[in-house]
Structure 1
């Protein structure tokens, strides 16, 4: 089973991750040998994972962040947070990735144990996951960062150099390729399979034609269009590769649209399994201890039961043979008193030889304890000659009683251990059901209108507003049609608002759209309670500026008649509505929200910090059964502080 990415894997994923160039670094998390970079991209949130010695890709499997960030985390956040990714590169064809953010470069070494190093603009080491020294380089603060000794790049190698490298090896061609061209055994084998050259053939024995075929096949493989897939063996994940490989021709496969998705599914599942194991490891160890204890207790219980039963039976046996046992006791006692123990023993031995019935019953003699052990109905019975028959029987009954008492205690301990074992098994079951320390962020594909602020009016019309200069520009240029209506607040920096198919809309929708325009403007953060807005037709809105003036990104001119609505209240409602088959948290004019849900929260400009307002809204929505992320609520609210004035529902 694959445990780390190859140079080929890194080449494909780095090429794919060029889409992240320009993304803003939001926050960085560090746990063990991996870091996770939370990015703000054009498509929304993305998480980039870099694990020393293992992997590098976008992930949806997110570990719970450590409560106390490490010093390495703090250094990375200090220098990288808020910056923009300028470049993502692979160093040569090596298992090394570079992420450049402004004047800093984060270097991920994915070979052997691996490392993660931050260097400044002068290539000096600012911080590293671990500091260490090697024969040819040192990873320590302020030292110049040096890459490991370079190996041959199969993408750049020329024909003559390739031939020289392969022919100087006195080993099988598959080993020569893997070793000299830095590609690993899998791809060396794949190249030879495609070229139909025996992988076990000595490199030095290859013909010019075979060498040329291998060279061309290698170049073709490493420039092949991606077809990412996870390879399964016996129903289990076996490998994850960026292209279709002939070596896995007869294996079951699952295909993905991007290699990063395939890597995430593969390594993410492995991470989840490890997290489950980690979470239950201590409980499983405790369970094993309890099972061992239970086994010992079961053996003890069996022993005490047998002791109690055996001693009870011997006691009963003495009384069942009362006359004979009493006669034997009397005879043995008199004989030992008259003859002494040595002579008594001698007479018993003689009696056995003569076939004396009483002598044959004797199994052992203990002069020290003044006891004789006889066999009675197949059981050995120890009789003390200085005690009466009743006292001898009582000794066995007492032993049986003590064994029963111990049995009761052992039984309680056994039941207690079983109870603890049941509790541990329930805890293990609960742990498996619990949300793991690693959770998967399920990302659905956003619909086109989610790029903007939006709501559905009380009359059912879709209303859109820009979020910033880029989305304002995009909204007017690409999404405003001739049948729409345009709205704008009489406030500097207010968003452009478009009512889709708005020329069919009634006064209620136009009022709501204009109210939305003033509420989503800077008038909200200024604490105003009302402002003016107008509506116009799409053909009145143009990028053509008055003579001598320039309109920046997101700015447009409106010519002709403006239809004004004065004194519009800055008041909105937040609720969860259903639209196009999905639920969305939406912030819009009260009447618009009210038309689509009977539970909503009315807000106005106020003194409560936006972050605290978001928390309070989230708690209310959770009480209503909606699990909504704070960042989703934050994205819908107007700019600035506010207050909750009423909760309906």
Structure 2
């Protein structure tokens, strides 16, 4: 089963993750060998996982953050939080990734045990997951970070160099490829399979034609279009790949739209399984001990049952052959008294040779115990010459009785162990039902209007506002129709606002949309309590600039009459409403919010940091039974700080 990404995997994932360039680093979490970077991207929140020696991809499997952040976490947060990703790169064709954030670079070493290192603009080490020294480099604070010795890149290698590398290797061609060109065994096998070559052929014996075939096949494979998939054998995952390989022909495969999704599903499930094992580790150990005890007790029960049965049968056998055994005891006593034990033994042996029936019954003689063991009906009976026939039988009955007594005790202990086992199994079952420390974030498919800021007016009209230059441009060009209305605040940098089907809306909706426009503008972050806004018809809004001027991205001109609202209050309400069959957290004018919910939080511009405001709103919504993520609240709030002025429905 695959446990870490290859150089080929890293090449494909790095190509895919270029979409994260420009994303903002919100927060960083560290646990063991992993760091998780919480990003704010164009598509919303994304979590980037980097595990030393293992993997690098976007993840939806979120591990519960440690209660106390490590010193490594704090250093990473100090230097990277709030920064923007400038580049994500692979070092040469090695298992090393570089994430550049401003003046800093986070380096993830995914080979062997791996490491995660933060360096500054001069390539000096600020912090590392672990500090260590090697023959040719050292990972320690303030030291210059040096990459491991360079290895050959199969993507860039020229024909002549390729030929030289393979021919100088005195080994099988599959090993030569894997070693010399840093691709690993699987891809070396795949190249030779596609080329139809015998992988065991000596590399030094390859002809020029064969070498050329291998070279061209290698180049074609590593430029193959992605087809991310997980490979299964007997329903168990065994590999995750960015491309389809002939090596796994006939295996069950599951395909994904992105390699990151495939990696996340593969490693995420492994992580969840590890978390489950960790969660029940002690209980499973106790269960194993109880099962071993149970097995021993079952063996003991069988032993006691057998002892009780065998001794009972021997006692019964003595009484069933009363006359015979009584005569034997009498004869043996007389013989011993007359001859002594040694002569008695000698006479028995002679009797056996002569075929004497009584002598043949004797199996052993014990002078010390004054006992003779005979065989009767295939069973051996030990007879003590100093005891009567009744006393000899009683010895066996007493043994049977003791064995039965032990059996009863063992049975009680056995039942007790079974009860304990059931209790432990129940506890394991309960633990399995508990929420794991690793959980998969199920991302629902967002509605089209969630690309924008939005609310539903008290009259039931959908109102949309841009979030930035791109969404402002998109809103006006693609989503404003002739039957809509346009609103804008008299504030520089305010968002464009569109009332869908607005020409059928009443005065109340117009007021709410204009109030939304001023509240979502920079007037909020400036701490203003009121501002002006107007509405106009779509035909008045155009990209056509006055002569000599240029309209930038997200900018539009409004010509003709503007219908003004003056002194609009910057005041909004946060609540959870149901719209189109789903629950959404919204931030809208107070009248619009209270139309759809009895519980809401009224906010105005203020001194409370936006992050703290989000936390307080989340706590209130949580008390009302709404489990809302902080990033979802953050996304709907206006820009800048604020204060809670009223909580309705508490």
Report TM bin, short chain. Answer: 0.7 to 0.9
Deviation of residue 75 (structure 1)?
2.3
The aligned counterpart of 2:427 is 427
The aligned counterpart of 1:272 is 272
CA distance in 2 between counterparts of 1:226 and 1:636 reads 36
The aligned counterpart of 1:183 is 183
Contact 1:2 1:240 in 2 (8 A): yes
- Between stretches 369-378 and 259-268, larger displacement belongs to 369-378
- Between stretches 31-40 and 81-90, larger displacement belongs to 31-40
Q: Secondary structure at the match of 2:624?
A: helix
- The 5 Å alignment of 1:386-405 reads 396-405=396-405
> Structure 1's 386 and 160: CA in aligned 2 closer, same or farther, altered over 3 A?
closer
- Between stretches 152-161 and 323-332, larger displacement belongs to 323-332
Contact 1:518 1:570 in 2 (8 A): no
The aligned counterpart of 1:574 is 575
Stretches of structure 2 lacking an aligned partner (at least 5 in a row):
none
Contact 1:603 1:644 in 2 (8 A): yes
CA distance in 2 between counterparts of 1:339 and 1:202 reads 91
- The 5 Å alignment of 1:24-423 reads 24-194=24-194, 199=199, 202-233=202-233, 235-248=235-248, 250-312=250-312, 342=341, 349=348, 396-423=396-423
> Structure 1's 392 and 522: CA in aligned 2 closer, same or farther, altered over 3 A?
farther
1:495-522 CA-partner distances (Å, limit 9, x unpaired): 5432112112233433443454466567
CA distance in 1 between counterparts of 2:51 and 2:296 reads 45
The aligned counterpart of 2:599 is 601
Deviation of residue 329 (structure 1)?
7.7
Contact 1:614 1:634 in 2 (8 A): no
Contact 1:519 1:572 in 2 (8 A): no
Deviation of residue 482 (structure 1)?
3.8
> Structure 1's 516 and 397: CA in aligned 2 closer, same or farther, altered over 3 A?
farther
Residue of structure 2 aligned with 1:613, choices 617, 621, 640: 617
Q: Secondary structure at the match of 2:88?
A: strand
Q: Secondary structure at the match of 1:38?
A: strand
The aligned counterpart of 2:15 is 15
1:148-182 CA-partner distances (Å, limit 9, x unpaired): 22223333333443344344444454444433333
Residue of structure 1 aligned with 2:644, choices 642, 645, 648: 642
Contact 1:577 1:586 in 2 (8 A): no
> Structure 1's 591 and 400: CA in aligned 2 closer, same or farther, altered over 3 A?
farther
Stretches of structure 1 lacking an aligned partner (at least 5 in a row):
none
> Structure 1's 295 and 194: CA in aligned 2 closer, same or farther, altered over 3 A?
closer
Q: Secondary structure at the match of 2:649?
A: strand
- Between stretches 307-316 and 85-94, larger displacement belongs to 307-316
> Structure 1's 388 and 633: CA in aligned 2 closer, same or farther, altered over 3 A?
farther
> Structure 1's 481 and 219: CA in aligned 2 closer, same or farther, altered over 3 A?
same
CA distance in 2 between counterparts of 1:177 and 1:355 reads 82
1:15-40 CA-partner distances (Å, limit 9, x unpaired): 22111111111222223333222211
The aligned counterpart of 1:536 is 535
CA distance in 1 between counterparts of 2:212 and 2:37 reads 43
CA distance in 1 between counterparts of 2:430 and 2:420 reads 15
| Superposition RMSD in Å | 4.4
> Structure 1's 566 and 308: CA in aligned 2 closer, same or farther, altered over 3 A?
same
Contact 1:573 1:600 in 2 (8 A): no
Contact 1:571 1:602 in 2 (8 A): no
